[in-house]
C-alpha cells in the first residue's frame, strides 16, 4: 500500500512538473509576441498556458498586461481579480498595475486610485505603482497630486526616465528650473531616443523663455511673476526664484557680441553653469524635493567639472560638426562622466 501511494505521488509530481514546463514554454512564447505588439496572439498563448497549468500566476499576470495593452480592459480586470484571489501571498505588484490601469482607461478614476493605493501598501518599494498612480492623477487633471507620485517614484528609482519626463512636462510652465533639471537628468538616463530629442528641445525652449531681441542692440527680458518672491512672506517649498532670475539674465547674454560667435553647445554650457552655481549659492536657504534630490546631483556635476560632458551628451543627436568632433576626441571624458553618474549616491 505504501509503495502504491509513493508511486501515485511520484506520478502526480511528474505530471505537475511537466505541466509547469509546458506552461512556462507557452508563457515565454507569449512574452515574445507581446513585445512585438501582437497582443491577441500573446493572450492566446497565456490562455493555453492556463489550460495546462491552472492559475499559473505568471500566465495570469502576463495575460492581464496583454489584455490591458489590447484595450480589453474589462477582461483585464477579471483576470487581475482572479490572480489576486488565488495568489494572495505571492508577488502581485504587476497585476495591481494592470488592474488599476484598466480601471483608469475605463474612466473609473476613484476605483483605479484605490487599487493603486492597495498595491502601494503591499509593495511600497515598487516605483511603477507610484508612477502609474501619477499617470492616473494626470489623466484627471490633478497635476499637483501627480507630481507628488512621480517624485515618490524617483525616490525609489532615481533612474526612472518616465517619472523624470513627467515631472519635466508638468513643471515646465510655472517652475522651469526643476523642469530643466528633470529633463537634463532624463537626457542622461535615456539618451538618443525620440523622447530625448523632444526633451532637449524642451530645455532649449525653457532656457529662452521670456527673452526677445527687440532691436539690433536691444533685448527684452520678461520675468515670470510667479518667480518673484515676496520678501515679507515665509520661504516656499521648492522655491527657485533666484536661480530663475539669474538664468533670465544669463539667457539674455546669448545676444551679447562675445557670445554670438559661440556654438550652441558652448552657450548652453555657460547657462547651465550659471544655474548650477546659483543652486550651490542658495541651497542652504531652500528646501523641498527638488532641492534635496535634484540640486545636489547637479551641484556635484559642476564641482567635478562634468557639465561640458553632460552638454555634449544632451546634444549628441544634433548632428552639429562640433558635437561630432567632441564625441570622437573625448570618449574618456564620457566614460568618467557616466561612471560618476552611475555611482552617484542618491541617499545623500
CA 180 distance to own-chain centroid:
14
What is the percentage of the chain residues whose pLDDT exceeds 70?
86
Query: Per residue in 137-174, pLDDT tens?
Result: 999 999 999 999 999 999 999 999 999 999 999 999 88
pLDDT at 10: 45
pTM: 0.89
pLDDT at 230: 47
Q: Where are the alpha helices (DSSP H) in 123-253?
A: 127-139, 143-156, 161-171, 176-189, 194-207, 241-252
pLDDT at 13: 46
Lowest-confidence region among 43-57, 133-147, 226-240: 226-240
Residue with cell 499576470: 61
What is the percentage of the chain residues whose pLDDT exceeds 90?
75
pLDDT at 20: 74
pLDDT at 304: 97
pLDDT at 251 over 80: no
CA count, 13 A, side-chain hemisphere, 70? 22
Task: Round to whole Å and give the CA distance between 50 and 200.
Answer: 46
Mean pLDDT of 204-228: 67
Residue with the bigger pLDDT between 217 and 258: it is 258
Query: Per residue in 113-144, pLDDT tens?
Result: 999 999 999 999 999 999 999 999 999 999 99
Element (H, E) at 15: helix 2-35
Task: Round to whole Å and give the CA distance between 99 and 38.
Answer: 20
180 pLDDT band, cuts 50/70/90, is very high
Backbone angles phi, psi at 220, to 5 degrees: -105, 130
Amino acid at each position: 500500500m505504501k509503495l502504491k501511494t509513493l508511486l501515485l505521488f511520484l506520478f502526480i509530481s511528474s505530471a505537475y512538473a511537466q505541466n509547469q514546463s509546458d506552461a512556462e514554454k507557452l508563457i515565454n512564447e507569449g512574452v515574445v509576441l507581446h513585445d512585438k505588439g501582437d497582443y491577441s496572439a500573446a493572450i492566446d498563448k497565456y490562455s493555453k498556458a492556463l489550460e495546462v497549468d491552472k492559475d499559473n500566476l505568471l500566465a495570469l499576470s502576463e495575460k492581464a498586461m496583454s489584455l490591458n495593452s489590447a484595450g480589453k480592459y474589462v477582461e483585464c480586470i477579471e483576470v487581475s481579480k482572479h490572480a489576486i484571489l488565488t495568489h494572495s501571498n505571492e508577488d502581485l505588484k504587476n497585476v495591481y498595475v494592470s488592474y488599476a490601469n484598466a480601471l483608469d482607461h475605463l474612466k473609473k478614476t476613484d476605483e483605479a486610485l484605490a487599487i493603486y493605493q492597495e498595491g502601494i501598501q503591499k509593495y511600497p518599494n515598487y516605483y511603477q505603482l507610484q508612477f502609474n498612480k501619477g499617470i492616473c492623477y494626470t489623466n484627471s487633471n490633478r497635476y499637483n497630486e501627480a507630481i507628488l507620485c512621480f517624485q515618490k517614484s524617483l525616490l525609489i528609482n532615481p533612474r526612472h526616465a518616465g517619472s523624470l519626463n513627467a515631472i519635466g512636462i508638468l513643471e515646465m510652465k510655472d517652475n522651469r528650473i526643476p523642469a530643466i533639471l528633470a529633463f537634463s537628468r532624463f537626457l542622461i538616463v535615456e539618451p538618443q531616443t525620440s523622447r530625448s530629442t523632444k526633451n532637449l528641445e524642451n530645455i532649449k525652449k525653457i532656457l529662452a523663455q521670456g527673452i526677445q531681441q527687440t532691436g539690433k542692440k536691444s533685448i527684452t527680458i520678461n520675468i515670470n511673476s510667479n518667480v518673484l518672491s515676496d520678501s515679507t512672506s515665509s520661504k516656499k517649498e521648492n522655491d527657485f526664484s533666484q536661480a530663475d532670475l539669474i538664468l533670465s539674465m544669463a539667457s539674455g547674454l546669448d545676444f551679447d557680441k562675445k557670445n554670438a560667435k559661440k556654438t550652441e553647445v558652448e552657450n548652453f554650457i555657460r547657462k547651465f553653469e550659471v544655474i548650477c552655481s546659483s543652486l550651490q549659492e542658495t541651497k542652504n536657504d531652500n528646501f523641498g524635493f527638488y532641492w534635496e534630490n535634484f540640486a545636489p546631483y547637479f551641484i556635484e556635476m559642476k564641482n567635478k567639472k562634468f557639465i561640458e560632458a553632460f552638454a555634449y551628451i544632451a546634444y549628441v543627436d544634433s548632428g552639429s560638426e562640433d558635437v561630432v568632433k567632441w564625441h570622437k576626441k573625448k570618449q574618456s571624458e564620457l566614460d568618467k562622466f557616466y561612471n560618476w553618474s552611475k555611482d552617484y549616491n542618491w541617499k545623500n
